[in-house]
Structure 1
Amino acid sequence: MSYLLTTLTKKGEVDSIITDTIDKVLVLRFGRSSDPVCLQLDDVLSKSVREVSKFVTIAVVDIDSVDVQVYVKYFDITFIPSMVFFFNAHHMKMDSGSADHTKWVGAFHRKQDFIDVVEAIYRGAMKGKLIVSCPLPPERIPKFQLLYKDV
Structure 2
Amino acid sequence: MDFLITTLTKKQQVDSTIKDTIDKVLVLRFGRTSDPVCLQLDGILYKSMREVSKFATIALVDMDSDDIQVYVKYFDITLIPSTVFFFNAHHMKMDCRTADHSKWVGAFHRKQDFIDVVEAIYRGAMKGKLIVPCPLPPERIPKFQLLYRDV
Pairwise TM-score range, normalised by the shorter structure: over 0.9
How far, CA to CA, are the matches of 2:97 and 2:104 in structure 1?
11
CA shift at 1:145, angstroms?
3.1
Matches within 5 A, 1:13-92: 13-92=13-92
Q: Deviations over 1:54-109 (max 9, x none)?
A: 00000000010000000000000000000000000000000001110000000001
Q: Give the fraction of aligned pairs with identical amino acids, expressed as a percent.
A: 84
Q: What SS class does the counterpart of residue 61 from structure 1 fall into?
A: strand
How far, CA to CA, are the matches of 1:140 and 1:84 in structure 2?
18
2:105 corresponding residue in structure 1: 105
CA shift at 1:143, angstroms?
1.1
Q: What SS class does the counterpart of residue 80 from structure 2 fall into?
A: coil
**Could you list the runs of 5+ residues in structure 2 that have no partner in the other structure?**
none
CA shift at 1:146, angstroms?
4.7
Q: Which amino acid aligns with 1:120?
A: A
Moved over 2 A (4+): none
Q: Which amino acid aligns with 1:83?
A: T
How far, CA to CA, are the matches of 1:113 and 1:146 in structure 2?
22
Q: Which amino acid aligns with 2:127?
A: K
How far, CA to CA, are the matches of 2:141 and 2:99 in structure 1?
13
Q: TM-score normalized by structure 1?
A: 0.94
Q: TM-score normalized by structure 2?
A: 0.94
Q: Which amino acid aligns with 1:25?
A: V
How far, CA to CA, are the matches of 2:130 and 2:118 in structure 1?
13
Q: Which amino acid aligns with 2:123?
A: R
2:124 corresponding residue in structure 1: 124
How far, CA to CA, are the matches of 2:33 and 2:145 in structure 1?
22
Q: Which amino acid aligns with 2:89?
A: A
CA shift at 1:137, angstroms?
0.1
How many residue pairs get aligned? The number is: 146
Q: Which amino acid aligns with 2:9?
A: T
1:133 equivalent to 2:133? Answer yes
Q: What SS class does the counterpart of residue 102 from structure 2 fall into?
A: coil
